[in-house]
Chains A and B, each alone.
Chain A
């Protein structure tokens, strides 16, 4: 299906504004981005067919476009499912290397981008303080921070308890230690079977030699 350029351009502009805002709230990032100029990344989604181009201008601002003729520093090509997996992967670098994503050009540039993203430290309290004043803004920021912290620790706790239930209470799955011992036993058994097989082969040879001698 042919996509509407105005829609893609609108999405690009919205994302661009969000990035611009985040960069403005993360003081060190603008300088890091300026160092990446003239980085030009082409992102080609094959299903559906959409291309988006991200580049960094001389002022260190991230710009997005739906059409660009400049040769990209690096091009990434994948289906939207692969991009989805990459976005949600615990280790994006491993997902990028091991997934079905095609990369061409200077891959070192991607590592630089990843470094900038991981160093991104958005001071999201600043706009709250600007809008609501230092007292109320700070209090609301504290509440939000507590909610986020609570949600994260609840998520971690639920994950740990669920894994304990599966392993210990429900015995629905063996533990890592049990699995290691099981695989070690299998390896041991394979070695023993190999030894028995070679002894049998040697025995067969000796028996056939004796039979020949007796004849």
Chain B
């Protein structure tokens, strides 16, 4: 039995649902095809604008300099890529990658509007099988994308492969609140308010229900830290933000 057959038998989570591994990418694609146009508006509404601060801190942690090559995986609408574009300057290069063509299309249009495409390449790619040379990237970021990846370990190993020695990985992702009270409030908000907001703004309650479920199924801070270390990264650490609702994990390729 080949790898393809193995994958078709194994299951993985899609929110609280168990689906065959081969089906998850397609299901995730359906979700993001549906929300692509309203993605940034919904992000602002759902997080109260906080996602901008989470991303800003992630960019600070990246310590990206002029002339470097940055890969933004699951970069979707390109907000991180636009900021990295300024930091790397004309001598550097930013690659905006996403598995979803609809998100990339929205992202590319936004970047054209901002006049930021001169040092940005747009690539449709699966995080598990990155189509880049070994040791070719200075910094990889994946913001709110890892939880949608079918096999997170494979994706982290793929990121490790394409990073240059000394290069850094930054994973910004929803995580587990550190306070039990905040956790309860957050649960109520996620499962009651999010689908309603999704229905009102994007006319799609299911996609936002999936968002809440996928966050709960995503590994907590320490588990993800172990996964990043297992993928071969060193000097790994994480920073909790907004009481652990979000965490940014950092790993260096040794």
Question: Do the two chains belong together in a single complex?
Answer: yes
Spell out A's residues near B (CB within 8 Å).
4-6, 9-10, 13, 65-70
CA A183 to CA B139, docked complex, whole Å: 69
Cβ–Cβ contact A5 & B63, under 8 A: no
Are the CB atoms of B61 and A10 closer together than 8 Å? no
Could you say which residues of chain B place their CB within 8 Å of the CB of A67?
A: 57, 60-61
Verify B60–A13 contact, CB threshold 8 A: no
Write the nearest CB–CB distance from B238 to chain A, whole angstroms. Answer: 11
Which listed residue, B53, B60, B246, touches A10 by the CB 8 Å rule? B53
Closest to A67 in B: B60
B61 touches A6 (CB 8 A): no
Chain B contact-residue range equals: 10 to 19
Contact B63 A66 (CB under 8 A): no
Q: Does B128 contact A (CB under 8 A)?
A: no
Tell me the total A-B contact number using a CB cutoff of 8 A. Answer: 31
Least CB distance, B10 to chain A, in whole angstroms: 37
Contact B242 A9 (CB under 8 A): no
Collect the chain A residues with CB atoms within 8 Å of residue B243's CB.
4
Q: How distant is the Cα of A69 from the Cα of B240 in the complex, in angstroms? A: 19
Chain B's closest residue to A70 (CB) is: B63
B241 at the interface (CB under 8 A from A): yes
Most A CB within 10 A of own CB, among B53, B56, B239, B246: B53
The closest CB in chain A to the CB of B50 belongs to A6
Chain A residues, Cβ within 8 Å of B63: 68-70
Q: How many whole Å from B162's CB to the nearest CB in chain A?
A: 22
Q: For the complex, give the distance between the alpha carbons of A6 and B50 in Å.
A: 8
Given A9-B53, A13-B53, A4 contacting B240 (CB threshold 8 A): yes
Across the interface, name the chain A residue whose C-beta is closest to B51. A6
> Contacts of A66 on B, CB cut-off 8 Å?
57, 60
Q: CB within 8 Å of A: which of B163-205?
A: none
Known contacts A9-B57, A13-B53, A66-B60, then 5 further A-B pairs from the complex at CB < 8 Å, ordered by chain A residue: A4-B242, A6-B241, A9-B53, A65-B60, A68-B60
What B residues does A6 contact at CB under 8 A?
50, 53-54, 57, 241-242, 246
